[in-house]
Amino acid sequence: MSTIYGMQRANGDWFTLEDNGTRNMPLFRTIHGALMARLRHFGMLLFKPVLVDRHSLNQLSTSSLGRNLAFWFIDDPFSSLERQMKKGGSKLISSAGNEKMQKAKK
């Protein structure tokens, strides 16, 4: 598994955006990308970049958040997160009870 970062608060909450009943979790390939996105999106100011590993993914998939959760790779941290998710891009699909993640292009 390559290095992936998500944004997490000190209390353990993960940063997600809601769209049509689905929680979308932005993922970043570098800490720098995550920090730059945090500067651009004021809702992320209380979050810090955290390494997303297998343990984190398992916890997310078994939590109440995991039922309607989609993971998105953010390629350009300087543009709008919402716009990147709506226009398509790299999406990792997670379904409840399925620990395998499939890479799909939208």
For residue 18, what is the DSSP state?
E
Q: What is the mean pLDDT of residues 11-40?
A: 89
Predicted local distance difference test score (pLDDT) of residue 3: 87
The average confidence (pLDDT) of the chain is 78
Identity (one letter) of the amino acid at 3? Answer: T
Predicted local distance difference test score (pLDDT) of residue 91: 58
Predicted local distance difference test score (pLDDT) of residue 96: 37
pLDDT digits (tens, 9 = 90+) for 43-90: 899 999 999 988 888 888 777 666 778 888 888 888 888 777 666 555
Q: Which is it for the CA torsion 59, 60, 61, 62, positive or negative? A: positive
Contact call for residues 30 and 5 (beta carbons, < 8 A): yes
Which H or E element spans position 38? helix 31-40
